[in-house]
Amino acid sequence: MTEHVDVVVIGAGFVGLYAVHRLRDRMGLSVLGFDTASDVGGTWYWNQYPGARCDIESVHYSYSFSEELQQEWVWSERYAAQPEILAYLNHVADRFDLRRSFRFNTPVESMTWDETASVWQVHTPTGTVTARFIVSGAGNVSIPKQPEFPGLADFAGEVYATHRWPQQGVDLSGKRVGVIGTGASGIQLIAAIAPEVEHLTVFQRTANFATPLRNRPTDLEEWEKIRANYPQIRVASRNNFLGVVTDPPEPSAKLADPEQRRARYEHYDAIGGFHLLMSSYADLLLDEESNETISEFIRSQIRARVTNPAVAELLSPRDHPYCTKRPPMETGYYETFNRPNVTLVDVKTNPIEAVTPRGLRTGGEEYEFDVLILAMGFDAFTGALLAMNPTGRDGVTLAEKWNEGPRTLLGIASEGFPNLFMITGPQSAVALYNNPLAIEDHVEFASDAIGYVLERGLSTIEPSVQAESDWVRMINEMADMTLFPRAESWYMGANIPGKPRGLLTFVGGAPAYRAICAEIVENDYRGFSVA
Ligand code: N01
């Protein structure tokens, strides 16, 4: 007989752990979780590459749903490194006894809506489970981008990827290493491994606006103050655009006095992390002239740190405004290029032609190395959902429905796919919203909607066609009001050849998104069809 549960939860990262706890322990539902990995952690399980670290401050990058949990955990650094975040998620799994609800090493291969029984059939290699609801936490940066160039299979050395770094680590000492990719992952990895390797060749296509993280250890005294104030801190972060706590910005960079503007940039650059973006000026993502002032400030910082002017220029972004690609945060990244064992190769002018048995060819020249590391990014937002092959009403697949780009309401649900909740889905508030808090909001919306359906003895909930069209139109209009369409970024789906281009995230900020969700709930799930 087919196994049946109330809810299937996909993924055992930040989403899945909280979803299981809330649905199982607080709502009393039967819940079964699946994860491809052998244990909990999600993105922090897979991305164990050297230098992996969160660039949202530890005080904010954690769950807020349990006061006991926030009281008992102390982070050791202002910005936690991957092992500590993975340890935290293991602690959460132990504390709330969550592992027993998961089947690990079990990918969801497909899911099909059964109209007659009003259930989802969830297919895995070990069999089929039916569920009334699905909460997907499959991740928004979890399916890797495939290389466009040929020859990878012919490479005689070792190949690694940041998104699937071996758990036992890799000994790179004394080796010649090539790295493709200078996004957030590549930038962390490059700075971390440069001192260890014999030679590092960095293949850069687009220079990025990386700014200092300014990490430091934290002590118990500091955490005692934080723990005493957690409730207030969480209120403040939930009222902040990015879901953290930052000073309010001045209105306009272009209208500011140039000297005061530079001083303001220097001040927030010295504080580090996202403070530079969030606290300097409010129009940086809206006005090109304003954006150019901070773009040029960051370029001047690069010139001051990189000794070779030609290398500094190559590292200076000129083809997109600051933050229209996700800005990476760095520790010693630019100084890495002052090292004698590091070479920067421009693969924008001369795109990578092929990986060869001994290395890589670009511009007719071959670069040799023993180890190749790919840090080439992800098929973001839609990749993980489409990889699970959902088929909704009338046999329509999600891939067919989204063939010209995703269509959702709130980025959480899509018409024709009833009872399927996509946490951190396309067009949701996540890429510009501190993930743990965004995830809590989304999981709470989904579980409350499930409760609403069940309490009324109903069967299904899904967006109305009209409400979904309105949401998609609003996301596109928001994109046009900002500078985001000016970059070939994963925010825009533009990093994957052939992927429909369009803004994939809600850019109105956390408070606006939360207010819209609350308004929908208060009005009996306005915009959703409940039957
Ligand atoms: O991926 P990316 P990522 N030839 O897409 C290059 C989160 N994250 O894994 O820009 C040559 O940013 C590509 O070049 P281009 C965070 O949200 C967070 O680094 O397309 N190069 C780019 O340089 C982040 O944004 C943290 O021209 C090619 C790189 O590969 C997201 O994950 C840490 C190429 C991909 O960069 C993704 O970051 C890490 C080609 N054919 C990640 N194809 C923190 O919290 C691609 N590239 C700190």
Cα of 208 vs centre of ligand 1, distance in Å, is: 10
443-490 pLDDT per residue, tens: 999 999 999 999 999 999 999 999 999 999 999 999 999 999 999 999
State pLDDT tens for residues 252-281: 999 999 999 999 999 999 999 999 999 999
Check residue 176 and report its DSSP letter.
Answer: E
DSSP-derived letter for residue 22 is I
In the chain, the amino acid numbered 86 is L
pLDDT in the model for residue 27: 98
Q: How far apart are CA 366 and CA 321, in angstroms?
A: 32
Q: What residue's CA is closest to ligand 1, atom 1?
A: 377
Burial tier of 491 (Cβ tally within 10 Å: 0-12, 13-18, 19+): buried
Quote the pLDDT of residue 33.
98
Structure-block tokens of residue 424: 């951190």
CA of 183 to the centre of ligand 1 (A): 3
| Residue 91 pLDDT greater than 90, yes or no | yes
d(CA 115, CA 110): 16
The answer to whether residue 183 scores a pLDDT higher than 90 is yes
The mean pLDDT value of the chain amounts to 98
If you take atom 24 of ligand 1, which residue's CA is the nearest one?
184
**In the predicted structure, residue 85 carries a pLDDT above the cut 90:** yes
| CA separation, residue 17 to residues 91, 115, 406, 500 (Å) | 11, 29, 26, 32
> What CA–CA distance (Å, rounded) separates 403 from 425?
16
Residue 467: per-residue pLDDT = 98
Nearest-5° Cα angle at 475, 386 to 375:
50
- Quote the ligand 1 centre to 325 CA distance (angstroms): 9
Assess contact for 527 and 464: CB atoms under 8 A: yes
Structure tokens at 12: 């055992």
pLDDT of residue 458: 98
Q: How far apart are CA 139 and CA 27, in angstroms?
A: 24
Centre of ligand 1 from the C-alpha of residue 435, in Å: 18
Q: Is the pLDDT of residue 1 over 90?
A: no
CA–centroid distance, 339 to ligand 1, in Å, is: 23
Pocket test for ligand 1, best of 53, 165, 347, 376 (most atoms within 8 A of CB): 376
pLDDT (tens digit, 9 = 90+) per residue, 368-387? 999 999 999 999 999 999 99
What is the helix (H) or strand (E) element at residue 367, kind and residue range?
strand 365-368
Considering only 169-173, 247-251, 389-393, 429-433, which range has the smallest mean pLDDT? 429-433
State the pTM of this model: 0.98
Residue 147 CA to ligand 1 center (angstroms) comes to: 12
Q: Which residue's CA lies nearest to atom 5 of ligand 1?
A: 377
Pocket of ligand 1 (CB under 6 A): 53-55, 141, 145, 148, 180-186, 188, 203, 205-206, 326, 329, 347, 352, 375-378, 490, 495
Q: Give the three-state DSSP class for 436.
A: helix
Contact yes or no for 236/245 (Cβ under 8 A): yes
Q: What is the DSSP string of 180-247?
A: E--SHHHHHHHHHHTTTSSEEEEEESS----EE----B--HHHHHHHHHTHHHHHHHHHTSTTSS--P
Output the CA 200–ligand 1 centroid distance in Å: 18
Ligand 1 atom index nearest CA of 148: 41
Ligand 1 mean position, distance from CA 495 (Å): 9
In this prediction, residues 209-234 reach a mean pLDDT of 97
Nearest CA to ligand 1 atom 43: 376
| DSSP state at residue 141 | S
Token duo for residue 212? 């200092």
Residue 173 and residue 368: Cα distance in Å, rounded?
16
Protein residue with least CA distance to atom 20, ligand 1: 495
Nearest-CA residue for ligand 1 atom 45 is: 54
Distance 184 CA to ligand 1 centre (A): 6
CA of 528 to the centre of ligand 1 (A): 35
Across the range 157-167, mean pLDDT stands at 97
Closest protein CA for atom 44 of ligand 1: 54
Atom of ligand 1 nearest to the CA of 54: 45
Tokens for 206, please give them: 């687009």
Question: For residue 229, what are its two tokens?
Answer: 């104030």
Domains of the chain (ranges; CATH) run 3-40+98-143+379-456 (3.50.50.60), 240-327 (no CATH)
H or E element: which one contains 342?
Answer: strand 342-346
- Strands, DSSP E only, in 11-108? 31-34, 102-103
Identify any residues that bridge with 144 across adjacent strands, giving them in sequence order.
Answer: 378
The predicted pLDDT at position 400 comes to: 98
Helix (H) or strand (E) holding 133: strand 127-136
Q: What pLDDT was estimated at residue 256? A: 98
Residue 299's pLDDT band, with cuts at 50, 70 and 90, is very high
Q: Which atom of ligand 1 is nearest to the CA of 47?
A: 39
Residue of the CA atom closest to atom 15 of ligand 1: 206
What residue owns the CA closest to ligand 1's atom 29? 181
Q: What distance in angstroms lies between residue 182's CA and the mean position of ligand 1's atoms? A: 6
Phi, psi of 101 (to 5 degrees): -95, 0
CA 144 to centroid of ligand 1, rounded, Å: 10
Element (H, E) at 277: helix 275-279
Cα–Cα separations (whole angstroms), residue 386 to 383, 390, 415, 506: 5, 7, 15, 20
**Nearest-CA residue for atom 25 of ligand 1:** 326
pLDDT digit string (tens) for 401-450? 999 999 999 999 999 999 999 999 999 999 999 999 999 999 999 999 99
